[in-house]
Amino acid sequence: MRLHRCEGCLAACRPERATASSRRNITRTNQLKRSRASPYTTSIKRESKMAESTPPPPPENNAPQDPANFVSPYNQEISVTYLYFPAMPWFGMDIGGTLTKLVYFEPRENNRRELDKETEILKNIRRYLTRNSAYGKTGRRDGHLQMDNVTIRGRRGTLHFIRFPTSEVGAFLQLARSKGMAALVNTIYATGGGAYKFEEDFIKEVNMRLSKLDELDALIAGVLFVDAMNPQECYYWAPPLPPHEVDSPPYLEAALSQYVRKPFDFSNPYPFLLVNIGSGVSMLVVNAPNDYYRVSGTSLGGGTFLGLCCLLAGCSSFEEAIALAASGDNTTVDKLVRDIYGGDYERFGLRGDLVASSFGHMCSSERRAKVSREDLARATLVTITNNIGSIARLCASNERLERVVFCGNFLRVNPLSMKLLSYAMSYWSRGALKALFLEHEGYFGAVGCLLRYDLKNHRKENVSRNDTPERQMDR
């Protein structure tokens, strides 16, 4: 069998085809050549002639094994691209400030070696994850986001999207232990602050190592991959009329209900502003897959919305807060331009129905006595959303960007915020900025981790604005 020699195609070159005999054909030159191209390159030592012609077998329990930590049985120094493929199950994990996201790759077909080796444990894990949509009290699988026919490392399969509150990491570890996962998986690719915070717990509780990835690297890798795999991924909300011609106040249902969701072709994406609305908000200027920087952020994010709704409206879940906001009226809570001017502030183009002061009415005890939970939730949502929109717009115009892509779980089941952001981007930029959204909202970091199984996606460079040229060269 001919060995696929194109360096760039190493990932596409189906690893299971690289049999022992084909591996023998890899010359030292090719190995060295590839070692420059592939991040999955390790420096191993060889012991004997026989070893030289027979590359080391894949590690037994090798899912996934970081080449840097690979201890070779050989002792002669040589750089070799390691052609193992990590054993199933494959997971990517993003342990965020509020939610933990787990993406599970279910292979469509097992190869022969796997069928022989597939243990009862592996089958049980697969069944448990794919046949349920709820795990314990708080774990959920987002079945509507499932992606079939995805290829990772030459393997075709299905991506399953699972989330649970980060406060339940302990329960997750117990579950992982009870399902015997620890016996199969010794390392998980993980990102998010929790990958650092809970690292010790993973080792102590289930003897699993977390191979940590930067959350913003993983986020961008995930966005680009999922968008490439799913033609429906990127979309926008189209207003019925240009924003300047809408009669009814933009924040009222009459105007918002007329917005229509439409697909957007994001195949030529650069440059764009990526706004990730999680517990807090990060804003990134993305110029190319490996060229981005974090331009701004705000601590007033999804966590603030939920925290304030719990505090002000007695909510006990995000879904409840969103449902309340959907039927509330923020004008009983916020002070509008017309409450101050009696109409528009024409000179500077501020319409009377714009919010002049968020929660501005709440200094009146009479108004406080009358306000409903729904109105408070709505005002909280509008406040947080408008603030994010405002910062995003400033960043985009400073950076001369036209497209602003919003993601993160704050937008989950939250069309209201998406429409408000669409309106704000377009209205305040006089149509120059376009707000875009992504179907898989908060899962991109976890997908980015899963892509570490894919050679071609390994090691996304993080180029930060603060990097010196020397540091960039060192990477």
Ligand X SMILES: Nc1ncnc2c1ncn2[C@@H]1O[C@H](COP(=O)(O)OP(=O)(O)OP(=O)(O)O)[C@@H](O)[C@H]1O
Residue positions annotated with a catalytic role: 215
Nearest residue (CB) to ligand X, 218 versus 396? 218
Q: What are the E-state strand segments in 279-325? A: 281-288, 291-298
Beta bridge partners of 272: 286
Site for ligand X in 287-346 (CB under 6 A): 302-303, 305-306, 318
442 binds ligand X, rule: CB under 6 A? yes
> DSSP state, 465?
T
Preceding omega of 55 cis (within 30 degrees of 0): no
Stretch that binds ligand X, among 30-38, 121-129, 354-362, 409-417 (CB under 6 A): 409-417
Q: Which residues contact 220 (CB under 8 A, 6 or more apart)?
A: 274, 284, 286, 289, 292, 444, 448, 460
Residue 232 Cβ vs ligand PAU, minimum distance, rounded to whole Å: 27
Question: Residue count at the site for ligand PAU (CB under 6 A)?
Answer: 11
- For helices 373-398 and 415-428, angle between their N-to-C axes, nearest 10 degrees: 40
- Encoded amino acid at 416, one letter: L
Nearest residue (CB) to ligand X, 336 versus 421? 421
Q: What is the contact mask toward ligand X in residues 252 to 291, using x (rule: CB under 6 A)?
A: --------------------------xxx-----------
282 binds ligand PAU, rule: CB under 6 A? yes
Nearest residue (CB) to ligand X, 321 versus 333? 321
Instruction: Report residue 341 as tokens.
Output: 């001017």
Residue 205 Cβ vs ligand X, minimum distance, rounded to whole Å: 21
CB half-sphere exposure, 207, CA atoms < 13 A = 8
Please choose which of ligand PAU, ligand X, none residue 239 contacts, taking the beta carbon within 5 to 8 angstroms, the exact cut-off set by kind: none
Among 98, 298, 417, 462, binds ligand X (CB under 6 A): 98
279 binds ligand PAU, rule: CB under 6 A? yes
Find the radius of gyration of the CA atoms of the chain: 25
Residue 47 Cβ vs ligand X, minimum distance, rounded to whole Å: 46
Instruction: Report residue 30 as tokens.
Output: 């090719």
Strands 403-407 and 434-438: parallel
Phi, psi of 34 (to 5 degrees): -70, -30
15 binds ligand PAU, rule: CB under 6 A? no
CB half-sphere exposure, 292, CA atoms < 13 A = 28
Site for ligand PAU in 191-210 (CB under 6 A): 193
Nearest residue (CB) to ligand PAU, 88 versus 285? 285
Using the Cα atoms of residue 109, residue 114, residue 117 and residue 120 in order, give the sign of their dihedral: negative
Nearest residue (CB) to ligand PAU, 185 versus 295? 295
Q: Which residues contact 41 (CB under 8 A, 6 or more apart)?
A: 34, 35, 67, 79, 80, 81, 82
Among 15, 39, 56, 297, binds ligand PAU (CB under 6 A): 297
Q: What is the contact mask toward ligand X in residues 175 to 204, using x (rule: CB under 6 A)?
A: -----------------xx-----------
416 binds ligand X, rule: CB under 6 A? no
Stretch that binds ligand PAU, among 235-243, 275-283, 368-376, 455-463 (CB under 6 A): 275-283
410 binds ligand X, rule: CB under 6 A? yes
278 binds ligand PAU, rule: CB under 6 A? yes
Residue 193 Cβ vs ligand X, minimum distance, rounded to whole Å: 5
Using the Cα atoms of residue 58, residue 59, residue 60 and residue 62 in order, give the sign of their dihedral: negative
Nearest residue (CB) to ligand X, 38 versus 386? 386
Closest CA to 441 of 264, 256, 227: 227
Nearest residue (CB) to ligand X, 96 versus 157? 96
CA distance 368 to 184: 57
CA distance 145 to 160: 8
Residues that bind ligand PAU (CB under 6 A): 97, 193, 215, 278-282, 297-299
Residues that bind ligand X (CB under 6 A): 96-99, 165, 192-193, 278-280, 302-303, 305-306, 318, 408-410, 412, 442
